[in-house]
Amino acid sequence: MKRLPGDGALDDTQPCVVVGKLNNALQITALNEAAAKFGLDEGLPLANARAVCPDVQVFDADEAADAKLLNAIADWCDRFTPLVALDPPDGLFLDISGCAHLFGGEANMLRMVCEALDRQGFMVNAAIASTPVCARTMTRAARSCIVHDGEEARAVGALPVFALGADDAITRGLRRAGLKTIGDVAARAPHELAARFGAGFVSLLQQALGQGDAPISPRKPLPDFMVEKRFPEPVATDTVIASILSGLAQMLVAAMDKQGKGARRLDASFFRTDGAVRTITVDTGQPVTRAEMINRLFRERLDALADPLDPGFGFDLIRLSASHVEIVVQEQRDFDSRAQDNDEVAALVDRLAARLGRARVVVHLPQDTHIPERAALPVPAQQHLAAASVTAWPERVDKEPPLRPLRMFERPEIIDVPLATIPDRPPRRFTWRRATHDVVRVEGPERIAMEWWKNGTSTFTRDYFRVEDTEGLRFWIYRDGLYESELFDDKGERIDPKWFVHGVFA
């Protein structure tokens, strides 16, 4: 399928071509019917095209934009089947096994797809066959058609050899050998073709003839559970959309409950009448088995969208799917309120993640290291909430001040100290963030050596101090360098150690 660039106001009688640089020359990669009437064709150099048709309108090819558009069309095709695969640069494969009867049969479904894409401004040719290669071959040399089982060889036999989509060198070799149609090629023995053109071409030919098959690779995995609702008239109001999502949630929960499953990832897809598709995803920390919880999560997610859901002229299909499910394990609950508290915390985390994003709601797990900035590992709370609830942190001794600051910086910040500061003692005054602090109390040092055995590099040892200024503010500062040899350069000149603030206690 192709669509010429522009705003859609081009004259159909105006010859238009899209050109791209191939083999250091500008060649035609796409053209409209008006340009084809002048004898222009794909692969023709632009200079030759201008000589044949001086009035041809030329557009530059944009492969990135074409790929993005093809993916958008594939998203729209999800309304017919969840098994959609890309066939670059301008094709799609749709596995409609078991889906055609939902749209009135194969013929009606083929016509529906082509007419819908044609209304969106695309030039479309489609075919239905038992193998993807046979269907693709038919679209290259015949108008929309249906090839029934067992009729593949007869259907493609009269088509020219270029319809197979083989390399240009193979196509030219077949023509030089006098094999102009696919039927002529199929009449030759497979071992003769393999010896001349390779086993890959023979496999391609057999798939086009229906004698072999290769599975397609869908863009998205098939969801575990899926429910949807189609509308004869598009819906656009928030109230109606929320009501439909609520009904779909109840249907989805009922389907999962029959197999004892709960959803860990939910996707709500909204298909607009103009072809645009918007998918909203929410994740959960525990398997969800209640429709009320699904409704609340999607309400939080929709309210927090930076780009609000735009219905345009309305949605004609809304789908709710569970792409990740888990078995629900029934637990025996006692009168201990901690079990209910854990459920409430998990529900709160899910709502916060739906509103703020999964990566922004984290828990910290202790690590087996004495490096301060590595002592706690932030991880998504939804996936590690259970581990965080049972992990033991070092206990603080009663009536003792905390050994680590309440707020620790991700990266230590350098501070300015007087030059007269004795290297192995904390400064009496330092400047941090344009503010000067006079030190009145000091605790330390706490010497921490870096883990040189892990990173394989020699780093300074740190001397940490807990200091308090005249205003009662307490800081956790350190300096790099412990030994006298670290305080002098190769020339024997003294190097003033650098001081840093790593956190604040209050």
| pLDDT at position 420 | 59
Pairing of strands 474-480, 499-504: antiparallel
Q: Which of 84, 88, 86, 81 is nearest to 106 (CA)?
A: 81
| pLDDT at position 304 | 87
Q: Compute the residue count for the chain.
A: 506
3-state secondary structure of 195: helix
Can you tell me the mean pLDDT for 19-43?
Answer: 87
Can you tell me the mean pLDDT for 282-286?
Answer: 90
Question: What pLDDT band is residue 94 in, cutting at 50, 70 and 90?
Answer: very high
Write the DSSP assignment of 411-425 as a string of letters.
Answer: EEEEEB--TT--TTS
| pLDDT at position 336 | 57
The CA distance from 321 to 256, in Å, is 11
The CA distance from 246 to 93, in Å, is 33
CATH topology of domain 225-329: Dna Ligase; domain 1 (3.30.1490)
CATH topology of domain 84-208: DNA polymerase; domain 1 (1.10.150)
What does pLDDT average to over the chain? 85
Can you tell me the mean pLDDT for 289-300?
Answer: 92
Q: Which two tokens stand for residue 388?
A: 């965080």
Question: CA angle, 400 as apex, 395 and 404 as ends, to 5°?
Answer: 65
Residue 287: how many other CB atoms lie within 10 Å: 18
Largest pairwise CA distance in the chain: 98
458 has a pLDDT exceeding 60: no
| pLDDT at position 113 | 92
Question: What pLDDT band is residue 152 in, cutting at 50, 70 and 90?
Answer: very high
| pLDDT at position 492 | 63
Q: Which of 303, 238, 315, 236 is nearest to 269 (CA)?
A: 315
Residue showing tokens 């840093």: 500
| pLDDT at position 6 | 47
365 has a pLDDT exceeding 90: no
Per-residue pLDDT reduced to its tens digit, 103-147: 999 999 999 999 999 888 888 999 999 999 999 999 988 888 999
338 has a pLDDT exceeding 50: yes
497 has a pLDDT exceeding 80: no
The CA distance from 424 to 413, in Å, is 19
4 has a pLDDT exceeding 50: no
| pLDDT at position 291 | 93
| pLDDT at position 424 | 65
Q: How far are the Cα atoms of 28, 33, 226, 298, 366 from residue 40, in angstroms, in the given order?
A: 8, 10, 47, 52, 68
Give the pTM: 0.74
Q: Worst-scoring range by mean pLDDT, 3-7, 247-251, 440-444?
A: 3-7
Q: Which of 164, 313, 287, 171 is nearest to 234 (CA)?
A: 313
Question: What pLDDT band is residue 455 in, cutting at 50, 70 and 90?
Answer: low
| Domain range summary for the chain, segments of one domain joined by + | 16-61, 84-208, 225-329, 407-504
Residue showing tokens 């692969």: 43
- The separation between CA 389 and the C-alpha centre of its own chain, rounded to angstroms, equals 31
Q: How far are the Cα atoms of 312, 379, 451 from residue 485, in angstroms, in the given order?
A: 71, 40, 20
CATH topology of domain 16-61: MutS, DNA mismatch repair protein, domain I (3.40.1170)
| pLDDT at position 360 | 86
Judge contact between 34 and 10, C-beta under 8 A.
Answer: no
Per-residue pLDDT reduced to its tens digit, 214-249: 888 999 888 999 999 999 899 999 899 999 999 999
